[in-house]
Amino acid sequence: MLYLSTRGHPDRKHFCDILLEGLAPDGGLYLPEHYPQIDDAALTRLRKAYQSQGYAELAFQILSLYIDDIPAADLKALCAKTYTAEVFGTGEIVPLRHLEDGLWLEALSNGPTLAFKDIAMQLLGNLFEYELKRRGEELNILGATSGDTGSAAEYAMRGKEGVRVFMTSPHGRMSAFQQAQMFSLQDENIHNIAIEGVFDDCQDIVKAVSNDLNFKRQYKIGTVNSINWARLLAQVVYYFAGYIQATETNDQKVSFTVPSGNFGNICAGHVARCMGLPIARLVVATNENDVLDEFFRTGVYRVRGSADTHETSSPSMDISKASNFERFIFDLLGRNGQRTKALFSAALQTYGRFDLSADPLFADAAAKYGFESGRSTHADRLATIKDTYHRFGVTIDTHTADGVKVAREHRGDPAVPMIVLETALPIKFAETIQEALGHAPERPARFAGIEALPKRVQVMPADVERVKAYIERHCQ
Ligand SMILES: *Cc1c(COP(=O)(O)O)cnc(C)c1O
């Protein structure tokens, strides 16, 4: 299997080459040259693999279709090491929970940091360690986080050989729980840098460091952001696991509703559907930052400015543009790299928007690719959290609440189960749960009292040179 760029660059690469890279050389995103097809017999084999050998075996079989430069026995061992009941809380790894007639929750948030990003990031940690060792190389991951991504990356990379993490975050702006999760890590290779500024300052620092090509090369700076293909691939597996749990035979279909920000999670659903997994519809749920809902309703993709980007109670979906969206548009345009490049590098740069409303291909977003969308607000989240708690005794987090709200509006055929992806546990967003229910959410026992643990963090002004000097000092 070879990988190409969504912007038409002629190079083709193997999996392990793009594993450690970010964007393609022309600024595009990597995708496989084609999606391997799962026919009825193959789906039956995957069903049996998950049911009798577990999630790690399912992951191994799906990943094998996309990775031809890691020996099978090694890949199998990496999957087995990643997807354990010990790390993810249950043998199913992503169990389904029934809510009401035809509506299910797929639990993706029982990993080390209580958000779905762990599922891909834990695998990425093991893949990075494996590949760096094989090459005799090192990598210094530099990132910016306002919460979920940074902690998932740190818990995935802690103690890994050949990898250091330098994670910037806005000083004093994350919740006490999120700060405690990250700053209580005592591993030598994990560095928390609290920047006196806002999240955008952190992102600007990461960009400035990455744009210094000499520094980047000398200190082997890399990233783990959501455009990484390996993360997306790891997420494809739980669409299969959700489908298999919700159905008994392969002639049944299911639909998914996905709380969306950067379009990474639901893009994995798109890949699964293109592989032939019987998915009826893929419903994009956004919060007040409705860039994606607007596109699927109108055909207009309009990037928001920072004044137009709202701080909401589902903060991991507060995006101004959706960094993985280019992958779907490339497929929608019949994999036309030149047109994709014109939209994402020319039109977006110049006008901040593009308009496909008059293009017959836009109709395919729903008809051929199954996409629908909806939007939710703070008031909707509170009402949905309350309703779900009182009717089913289940407390859901704010992002999942956006999903449940939108899923109810898109139920469609009652014979087709609707699966909402649960993207975080409520304890991470305790303030809003308190507001909705009048009491704090349950805290998993292993997180009791983490706010009181010693913290390992360096506070710094928003100054690129200071951050570079810190990295230099800690790369000896
Ligand atoms: C990252 C995140 C999302 C958004 O996922 P995308 O892949 O960016 O669409 C939704 N909910 C939670 C809790 C997250 O951490």
Q: What is the pLDDT of residues 263-278, one digit of tens each?
A: 999 999 999 999 999 9
| Residue to mutate, 114, 121, 148, 385, ligand 1, most ligand atoms under 8 Å from C-beta | 148
Whole-number Å distance between alpha carbons of 283 and 269:
10
- Structure-token pair, residue 446: 């292993």
From the number of C-beta atoms within 10 Å of its C-beta (0-12, 13-18, 19+), residue 454 rates as exposed
> Could you tell me the pTM of the whole model?
0.96
Compute the distance from residue 464 Cα to the ligand 1 centre, in Å: 28
Q: Which atom of ligand 1 is nearest to the CA of 152?
A: 15
Compute the distance from residue 136 Cα to the ligand 1 centre, in Å: 33
196: number of Cβ within 10 Å: 13
- Structure-token pair, residue 268: 């994995």
The owner of tokens 């050989």 is 161
Whole-number Å distance between alpha carbons of 285 and 259:
5
Is residue 413 within 8 A of residue 434, CB to CB? The reply is no
Whole-number Å distance between alpha carbons of 295 and 368:
16
Instruction: Exactly one of 76, 117, 321, 428 is catalytic; name it.
Output: 117
3-state SS, one letter per residue, for 186-235 = CCCCEEEEEEECCHHHHHHHHHHHHHCHHHHHHCCEECCCCCCHHHHHHH
Specify whether 117 is catalytic.
yes
**Confidence at residue 434, expressed as pLDDT on a 0 to 100 scale:** 97
Mean pLDDT of the chain, nearest integer: 95
| Per-residue tens of pLDDT for the chain, all 476 residues | 999 999 999 999 999 999 988 889 999 999 999 999 999 999 999 999 999 999 999 999 999 999 999 999 999 999 999 999 999 999 999 999 999 999 999 999 999 999 999 999 999 999 999 999 999 999 999 999 987 889 999 999 999 999 999 999 999 888 888 899 999 999 999 999 999 988 888 988 998 998 898 999 999 999 888 899 999 999 999 999 999 999 999 999 999 999 999 999 999 999 999 999 999 999 999 999 999 999 999 999 999 988 888 999 999 999 888 999 999 999 999 999 999 999 999 999 999 999 999 999 999 999 999 999 999 999 999 999 999 999 999 999 999 999 999 999 999 899 999 999 999 999 999 999 999 999 999 998 989 999 999 999 999 999 999 999 999 999 97
Which protein residue has the closest C-alpha to ligand 1 atom 14? 316
Full strand arrangement of the beta sheet holding 279-286: 96-100, 103-107, 418-422, 254-259, 279-286, 371-375
Whole-number Å distance between alpha carbons of 203 and 184:
23
| Residue to mutate, 257, 260, 289, ligand 1, most ligand atoms under 8 Å from C-beta | 260
Cβ neighbours of residue 45 closer than 8 Å, sequence gap 6 or more: 61
Q: Which atom of ligand 1 is nearest to the CA of 397?
A: 13
Residues with CB under 6 A from ligand 1: 115, 117, 148, 226, 259-265, 316-317, 399, 423-424
| Residue to mutate, 260, 317, 371, ligand 1, most ligand atoms under 8 Å from C-beta | 317
The domains found in the chain, sorted by start residue, are 96-113+229-437 (3.40.50.1100)
Compute the distance from residue 234 Cα to the ligand 1 centre, in Å: 15
